[in-house]
Each structure stands twice: as C-alpha cells, then as structure tokens.
Amino acid sequence: MKIRKINWVGFVFGLLLIVSAFAFFYTDEEKNAFIFMIGLGAIIIILPFVLEVIFQGKKEEEISEMFLEFSRNLAESVATGTPISRSIVNMGKKNYGALSSNISKLANQIEIGIPLDRALKTFAYEVNNPVISRAVNLISESEKSGGDIEKILDSAAIAIAEIEKLKEERKAAIASLVVQGYIVFFIFIGIMLVMEFKILPLAISAGSFSGISTGNIQVLDQTGNELNRDVLANLFLYLLIAQGLFTGLAIGQLAEGSIKRGIKHSFILAASAFLIGIGVRLVFGGVI
C-alpha cells in the first residue's frame, strides 16, 4: 500500500512538472529548459517504480536469508525427536522477517489438518523463490518416502548456505567492475560534452559540418535538412541515454545475475546522462 501511494505521488508530481514545462517554457528561446523540465518530470514518474524493483530485490534477498535460518531451526527441532509437522507449527509464531507471514500461514495450514506435502507446495508457490522451491520439494519427497528427514534438512540448510555464500562472493568479486563501469560511463559523458561544446563548434567554424556527404549521397536529418551541430548534439545525448540503459542492464547481469536487478543501474546512468547533458546546455548554452 505504501509503495502504491509513493507511485501515485511521484506520478502526480512528475505530471505537474510536465504541465508546468508546457505552460512556462514552451518557446524557442527556452527549449533547453522545456526539455529539462519534461525529462525531470518523466524521471520523477519512473523513480517510484524503480524503487519498487529495488525493494522487491532486497525482499527476495531477505527471504533467502530467513529461509536459511528457518531450515536450520527446523533441522534442530527435528533432531530432538519432534515430528516435522509439529516443529513447523511450533515455529509458526517466530519472527522470520519478510518470511514470517508465509511461515505462519504454513503452520496454520498444517495445524488445521492440511497434509504437509500440500502445505509445503503452497508455501513454495507463494514465496516464488527457485532455491526455496527446490529445498521444499526435497523435504516434501523425503517426508513422503520415509527417508531420514533430519539428514535431509541438514543437507538442505547446508546447500542454501553455500548458495548464499557463493552469491556474496560473486558480489564482492564483481564490485570493483561495477565501480569501473560507473567511472567509465561518466568519463564517456565527459568526452561527449567536450565533443559537443569544443570540437563541434571548431569543426563548424571551419566548415567541416556545414554538410556531410558520402559520394553523391548527402546525409540529411528526419526533416530533410542538412546534418548540423544541433542534430549531432542531440545524437550525442541519445547515445548517452542508450549507453546508460544498456550499461546498467549489463552491470545488473554481471553483479547480481539478473537483468531485472540492472534496472536500478540503468535508471541511475540514463537519468544522470540526461540531467548532466541538458543541465550543461542550460548553464553554458546550446540548443536542442
């Protein structure tokens, strides 16, 4: 509910900025300010959804950690001779963070007589975590086949602990590459700005970009005009935004093994490229 309220607040505030841009800056003289306000409004509208993705990712991490603790506690309880069903019921009121409601529901289902196998499958379905689903299936099959449930629980807890350890090791190993990715991207922004504000004006003054041709084919923009500084400057900005989007997705895949986790990096880099690019134009001049 809180996330939904934030989404609505961001949408309303961003929409107000966009409306204000049309009301106060929609002139040829204020094109940079107009585009800046439009972009800032869009960023504010998108930001809550990006935060929701970030919070969801953190929740998934907490769920994995809490399930590891739950598995260990369950193994210890079963080792004392308590049946697995009774052990789960006994742990239903303990605090397991983001997993508390799911474990409480699992305990309630078992307590009212729902078979353990069915309750565990419902639990795995609702949590929707691949590691937990595999562990639950293993526990369920072991319980049905009459295997050594204590050893199975110990093995499941060890396996989950190893998976979490490997994730942390990968994060630590790739952290320097993530930082390098950000540094390289901001250097790329600097290079594009130097080209736009230093190299392009010099080239134009020398007549190099008054028209660009290849053989008998003249390069035109979408309106049929000769390609000039304005068009090239906009191309630089589009290139920066596209570079930010795809660099962020690549960082997410490398650092956390999920393109979805890269959405936050894409948002940060693309928004930074837009705000820096248009902001510099507002300060030092330049046209859109």
**For 184-239, how does the pLDDT look when each residue is reduced to its tens digit (9 = 90+)?**
888 988 888 888 777 777 766 665 444 444 333 344 444 444 455 667 777 888 88
Cβ–Cβ < 8 Å for 140, 120 = yes
Taking the C-alpha atoms of residue 134 and residue 243, their distance in angstroms, rounded to an integer, is 37
pLDDT in tens, 250-266: 888 877 777 777 888 88
| Mean pLDDT of the chain, nearest integer | 75
H/E run at residue 59: helix 31-79
pLDDT for position 221:
43
Assigned token pair, 82: 């308590």
Helix (H, G, I), strand (E, B), or coil: what is residue 226? Answer: strand
**pLDDT higher than threshold 70 for residue 73:** yes
Q: E strands along 77-143, which residues? A: none
What does the pLDDT average to over 117-123?
82
Cβ–Cβ < 8 Å for 283, 257 = no
pLDDT for position 286:
54
